[in-house]
Structure 1
Amino acid sequence: MKRSNGIPSLSPEIIEHALIHCHPRDVAAFSQTCRAAYQIVYHDRDGYLWRQLFLSYPFDDPRESLQGLRRYTPFDWKGELQRRVLAEAISHSPLATPEELTDTLETFLDVVRTASPVTQGYERVPSQSLLWVVDVLQSSNMLRSPLFDHYNTSQNLAHLRSYLALTLDDYDEDDVCGMEWMRVLRTRSRCYVYDLGNYCRENDWGPFWKNGCVNWVHVESIINVLLSNLAELSEPSLIDIRPPCGLEATRAYSAPGATTRNSKDWPGVEGTWARYVSFLDHRDLHGKPSRACCGID
Structure 2
Amino acid sequence: MLVNELPREIIEEILIRCDPCDVAQVAQTCRVFYSIICCAGDSTLWRELYLAQPLDDPRTAVSHDGYPKARPIDWKMELQRIMRAGTVVTSSNPFDLLRPGELHTVLGTLLDVVCNSAPKRTEESDEVSANLLWVAAMFRRGFLDQIKQADGTILSADERQRIAQLHTYYGITHADARPHSLVQSRAYVYSMCNYCSDTKYGPFTKKGVVNWVHMQALHHVMSMHLISLKEDEDFDFVIFPMSLPYTQTVVSEYLNDDEDWAGLTGSWVVSFCFCDHRDLMAFNEANRKQVDLSLFEDPGFREAFRSLDANLSVVRTEPDPEHPTRPIIHFYGEMQDSSTSTMTGSVKMTADNQIEWQFVSGEVGSTIWSSSGIQVGGLRSSFGVLGSWTTIFHEDDDPIGPFWLCKRSSITPIEI
TM-score range, shorter chain: 0.7 to 0.9
Distance 2:27 2:80 in 1: 14
Q: Give 1:294 deviation, angstroms.
A: 7.2
- Look up the match of 1:272: 267
- Look up the match of 1:244: 241
Q: Give 1:72 deviation, angstroms.
A: 4.8
Distance 2:253 2:123 in 1: 8
Distance 2:112 2:265 in 1: 30
- Equivalent pair of 1:120/1:259 in contact (CA under 8 Å): no
- Look up the match of 1:103: 105
- Look up the match of 1:87: 85
Distance 2:282 2:123 in 1: 56
SS in 1 for 2:273: coil
Distance 1:53 1:267 in 2: 35
CA distance 1:41–1:246, change in 2 (3 Å): same
Matches within 5 A, 1:127-276: 127-139=129-141, 141-145=142-146, 146-147=149-150, 153=157, 154-166=160-172, 168-169=173-174, 181-231=177-227, 244-253=241-250, 264=258, 265-276=260-271
Q: Give 1:96 deviation, angstroms.
A: 3.9
CA distance 1:135–1:230, change in 2 (3 Å): closer
- Equivalent pair of 1:203/1:210 in contact (CA under 8 Å): yes
- Equivalent pair of 2:4/2:11 in contact (CA under 8 Å): no
Structure 1 residue runs of 4 or more that deviate by more than 6 Å after TM superposition: 148-152, 258-263, 283-289
Q: Give 1:283 deviation, angstroms.
A: 7.7
Cα distance per residue 1:263-285 (max 9 Å; x no partner): 62331121234433211245867
CA distance 1:273–1:261, change in 2 (3 Å): farther
Q: Give 1:93 deviation, angstroms.
A: 5.4
Letter in 2 for 1:187: V
Distance 1:216 1:117 in 2: 23
CA distance 1:56–1:99, change in 2 (3 Å): same
- Look up the match of 1:73: 71
- Equivalent pair of 2:110/2:135 in contact (CA under 8 Å): yes
Q: Which residue, 22, 33, 38 being the options, matches 1:37?
A: 33
Distance 1:103 1:213 in 2: 20
- Look up the match of 2:53: 57
Distance 1:119 1:107 in 2: 25
Q: Does 1:119 align with 2:117?
A: no
Distance 2:222 2:123 in 1: 32
- Equivalent pair of 1:155/1:217 in contact (CA under 8 Å): yes
Q: Structure 1: where are the runs of 5+ without partners?
A: 170-177, 233-241
**TM-score under structure 2 length normalisation:** 0.57
Distance 2:154 2:203 in 1: 19
Q: Give 1:6 deviation, angstroms.
A: 1.6
Q: How many residues are matched?
A: 270
CA distance 1:296–1:105, change in 2 (3 Å): farther
Compare the two structures and name the one with the higher helix fraction. 1
Letter in 2 for 1:80: E
SS in 2 for 1:13: helix
Letter in 2 for 1:212: G
Letter in 2 for 1:222: L
- Look up the match of 1:172: none
Q: Give 1:130 deviation, angstroms.
A: 1.6
CA distance 1:51–1:69, change in 2 (3 Å): farther
Distance 1:215 1:147 in 2: 22
Letter in 2 for 1:252: T
Alpha-carbon RMSD across the aligned residues, in angstroms, is 3.4
Letter in 2 for 1:156: R
Q: Give 1:250 deviation, angstroms.
A: 1.0
Q: Give 1:122 deviation, angstroms.
A: 9.4
